[in-house]
Amino acid sequence: MLRRPDSSASRAAIATGVATTLALLLASCGAPATPTPKPTDAGVSPSPSVSPSGPAYVPDGTADDNLPLFAAVTAAVWASDQKASGRAYIDALIAAGFDRAAMQVTQDVSTVGNPVESLMFAVRWGDTECLIGQVGPSTGEPVTVVMPQLAEGRCLVGTTRAIDW
């Protein structure tokens, strides 16, 4: 199986950008202010300013309450150079407050080493629902939905990879 070089710095920069954006979003809930983007040491372009009315993590809310944030995080990673990396979506969702232990993600590459046509990731929400994201050439734009959980509390059908990083 062919392996791609690990771009941990790029993934870390994405996660940092998403975490910064979310921190600014949460901080802006008090008084409306437009944050001034600052370049990062990694040379990554600054993230766009955040609107005070943007989505927020609702830990005691429903999956539907958290779908806007899940979709915003998915869109942010999709717009980056890491859009084909399942780890980038998982890291960004963790930075947004979602529980790593409740997540699943499919493989980034096929059994013959080619990029997958469809990458899926999910967050189990409570005992009955899942936030599910799907990206890739076969979907065009990112798709995010709330769906019922499958048997045994799973969200995705088939084999998923371990989230052990």
Mind listing the pLDDT tens digit for each residue in 17-50? 444 443 333 333 333 333 333 333 333 333 333 3
- The answer to whether residue 126 scores a pLDDT higher than 70 is yes
The pTM of this model reads: 0.69
Answer whether residue 160 is part of any domain: no
Mean pLDDT across the stretch 101-129? Answer: 96
Answer whether residue 1 is part of any domain: no
Higher pLDDT, 52 or 133: 133
Mean pLDDT across the stretch 51-63? Answer: 86
Mean pLDDT across the stretch 116-145? Answer: 97
- The answer to whether residue 98 scores a pLDDT higher than 80 is yes
Answer whether residue 159 is part of any domain: no
Domain enclosing residue 103, as ranges: 8-153
Return the structure tokens found at 1: 């199986």
Among 12-26, 66-80, 129-143, which stretch is predicted with the lowest mean pLDDT? 12-26
- The answer to whether residue 96 scores a pLDDT higher than 90 is yes
Say which residue the tokens 């990694």 belong to.
Answer: 42
Closest CA to 93 of 29, 153, 18, 150: 18
Number of structural domains (the chain) is 1
Per-residue confidence at 52, pLDDT binned at 50, 70, 90?
A: low
Answer whether residue 3 is part of any domain: no
